[in-house]
């Protein structure tokens, strides 16, 4: 996430009636609220507590906190999202406090993005208009990047995902609820695409034709991970669901990874979707919002470093089968995200936030170009995984 440069006290320009300070006050006396980040689904703000407030006590410091409005069209059971987040953050916290704190974390700063209660002790607050709000601890002195430009950063991003998976590897997946059925089940996205493409007003442009042909050529491979799961080759585990590079924070001074944030999508699933998502986002130096989609490529040097970081930690719990499907995961998740963006473009931009009507089309082209580049480097990527295992 990037801190967006906005006026001191922000009232969302699209929603002049939303009093963000009043909403933030439900989580503790607040003087100021600013927009934070560029999420595609939820609305995120940074709230600054009133340091003069008598209500401020040792339980709540004057540190800013993250205030979020959950998109309840996407997360239709937001209470269950909170339940999953709390199950995961409690588990992370307990492991960090206990004797089972991994040796790897002995000399590493590691922060858990805890859920902060409302002044009434609840884990969320529902406004009069029905909107769903919650607060999360802000990790100070940390940065994130939408795209990675050097191998040290890539290694740290991979290490962070490895630590996250390692810390959760003893949490039974059954502890978590499937809050987003179908999320990261690629064949289901294909079914949705087929339904939407049948009814969408036909749009003809070279870019749209490129996307349609791209999808058709890869249809048969879309179930590679789901089929592996069905055959018992890949187990269901707690997954993050969205570990793209900018959801990993690094210490502002040392550059070492310190946290994995954005836990809305934690649920039972295949960690391969996480591995794929981390690589597809971390090894695309132009980033997923670039206008230069024709120049997008998967940078193998970044891939080596990211996988070095990940596998160094994850080799303790990954099986031979797990390693076998890492290449497929990287290819598939870029294809899947392109498919999701393209479907949403055809459907009239109802899921992802957009800044202009063709935004989702532009995003899908980036992901398809990335998938093409990953496919062209299959032997290299498979060799990287093999050599690191
Ligand atoms: C969405 O909102 P954000 O940026 O955290 C999406 C992810 C995509 C991502 C692409 C619930 O995440 O699946 O990979 O955009 N989240 C959901 O940037 O659909
Ligand atoms: Mg997210």
Mention the CATH class of domain 20-137.
Answer: alpha beta
- In the three-class reduction of DSSP (H, G, I as helix; E, B as strand; rest coil), residue 173 is classed as helix
Q: CATH number of the domain at 142-388, please?
A: 3.90.1200.10
Burial class (CB in 10 A: 0-12, 13-18, 19+), 215: buried
67 pLDDT exceeds 70? Answer: yes
| Ligand 1, atom 8: closest residue by C-alpha | 242
15 pLDDT exceeds 60? Answer: no
Q: Where are the beta strands (DSSP E) in the chain?
A: 30-35, 43-49, 65-70, 115-116, 125-126, 132-137, 142-143, 237-239, 248-251, 257-260, 267-269
Ion ligand 2, residue ranges at CB < 5 A = 242, 262
| 6 token code pair | 């906005």
β-strands 30-35, 43-49 pairing: antiparallel
Task: Say what the pLDDT of residue 104 is.
Answer: 83
Place of tokens 């493409």: 197
User: Which ligand number lies closest to the CA of residue 74?
Assistant: 1
Please report the ipTM that was assigned to this predicted complex: 0.99
Residues 362 and 291: their CA atoms lie apart, in Å, by 7
**Other CB atoms within 10 Å distance of the CB of residue 12:** 15
pLDDT digit string, tens, across residues 202-258 = 788 999 999 999 999 999 999 999 999 999 999 999 999 999 999 999 999 999 999
pLDDT-derived band at 177, boundaries 50, 70, 90: very high
Residues 184 and 339: their CA atoms lie apart, in Å, by 11
What would the mean pLDDT of 39-45 be, rounded to a whole number?
A: 97
Closest CA to 70 of 116, 131, 21, 152: 131
| 357 token code pair | 């009507």
3 pLDDT exceeds 60? Answer: no
Residues 161 and 270: their CA atoms lie apart, in Å, by 14
pLDDT digit string, tens, across residues 146-172 = 999 999 999 999 999 999 999 999 999
pLDDT digit string, tens, across residues 336-354 = 999 999 999 999 999 999 9
Rounded to the nearest whole angstrom, what is the distance from the C-alpha of residue 43 to the centroid of ligand 2? 11
Rounded to the nearest whole angstrom, what is the distance from the C-alpha of residue 373 to the centroid of ligand 2? 25
| Ligand 1, atom 10: closest residue by C-alpha | 40
Rounded to the nearest whole angstrom, what is the distance from the C-alpha of residue 205 to the centroid of ligand 2? 30
- Which residues have C-beta atoms less than 6 Å from ligand 1? 39-41, 74, 242, 244, 262, 265, 288, 337
Task: Say what the pLDDT of residue 55 is.
Answer: 61
Residues in the chain: 389
Residues 45 and 27: their CA atoms lie apart, in Å, by 13
6 pLDDT exceeds 80? Answer: no
Provide the β-strand partners of residue 267: 239
pTM of the predicted model, to two decimals?
0.94
124, 118 contact by CB (below 8 A) = yes
Which DSSP string do the residues of 229-293 spell out, in sequence order?
Answer: HHTTSS--EEE-S---GGGEEEETTT--EEEE--GGG-EEE-HHHHHHHHHHHHT-TT-TT-S-G
For CATH 3.90.1200.10, list the domain ranges present in the chain: 142-388
Ligand 1 atom closest to 42 (CA):
2
183, 265 contact by CB (below 8 A) = yes
What would the mean pLDDT of 353-375 be, rounded to a whole number?
A: 98
Task: Say what the pLDDT of residue 235 is.
Answer: 97
For CATH 3.30.200, list the domain ranges present in the chain: 20-137
Rounded to the nearest whole angstrom, what is the distance from the C-alpha of residue 162 to the centroid of ligand 1? 20
Task: Say what the pLDDT of residue 11 is.
Answer: 36
Please give the share of the chain, as a percent, with pLDDT higher than 70: 94
């Amino acid at each position: 996430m990037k801190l967006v440069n906005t006026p001191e006290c922000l009232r969302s320009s699209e929603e002049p009636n939303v009093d963000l300070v009043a909403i933030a006050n439900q989580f503790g006396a607040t003087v100021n609220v600013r927009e934070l980040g560029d999420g595609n689904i939820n609305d995120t703000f940074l709230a600054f507590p009133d340091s003069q407030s008598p209500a401020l006590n040792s339980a709540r410091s004057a540190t800013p906190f993250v205030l979020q409005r959950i998109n309840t069209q996407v997360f239709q059971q937001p209470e269950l999202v909170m339940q999953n987040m709390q199950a995961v953050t409690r588990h992370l916290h307990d492991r960090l406090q206990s004797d089972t704190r991994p040796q790897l974390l002995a000399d590493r700063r590691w922060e858990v993005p805890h859920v902060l209660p409302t002044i009434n002790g609840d884990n969320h607050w529902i406004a009069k208009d029905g909107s769903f709000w919650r607060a999360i601890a802000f990790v100070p002195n940390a940065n994130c990047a939408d795209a990675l430009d050097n191998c040290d950063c890539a290694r740290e991003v991979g290490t962070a995902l490895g630590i996250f998976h390692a810390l959760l590897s003893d949490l039974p997946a059954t502890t978590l609820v499937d809050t987003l059925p179908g999320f990261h089940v690629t064949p289901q996205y294909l079914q949705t695409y087929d339904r939407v493409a049948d009814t969408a007003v036909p749009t003809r442009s070279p870019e749209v034709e490129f996307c349609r042909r791209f999808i058709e050529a890869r249809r048969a491979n879309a179930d590679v991970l789901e089929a592996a799961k069905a055959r018992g080759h890949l187990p269901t585990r707690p997954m993050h669901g969205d570990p793209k590079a900018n959801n990993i924070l690094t210490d502002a001074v040392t550059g070492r990874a310190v946290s994995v944030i954005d836990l809305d999508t934690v649920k039972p699933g295949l960690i391969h979707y996480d591995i794929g998502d981390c690589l597809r986002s971390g090894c695309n130096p132009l980033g997923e919002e670039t206008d230069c989609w024709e120049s997008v490529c998967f940078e193998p040097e970044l891939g080596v470093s990211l996988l070095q970081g990940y596998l160094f930690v994850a080799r303790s719990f990954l099986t031979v089968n797990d390693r076998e499907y890492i290449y497929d995961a990287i290819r598939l998740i870029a294809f899947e995200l392109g498919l999701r963006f393209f479907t949403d473009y055809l459907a009239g931009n109802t899921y992802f936030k957009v800044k202009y009507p063709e935004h989702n089309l532009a995003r899908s082209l980036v992901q398809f170009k990335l998938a093409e580049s990953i496919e062209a480097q299959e032997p290299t990527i498979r060799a990287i995984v093999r050599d690191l295992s």
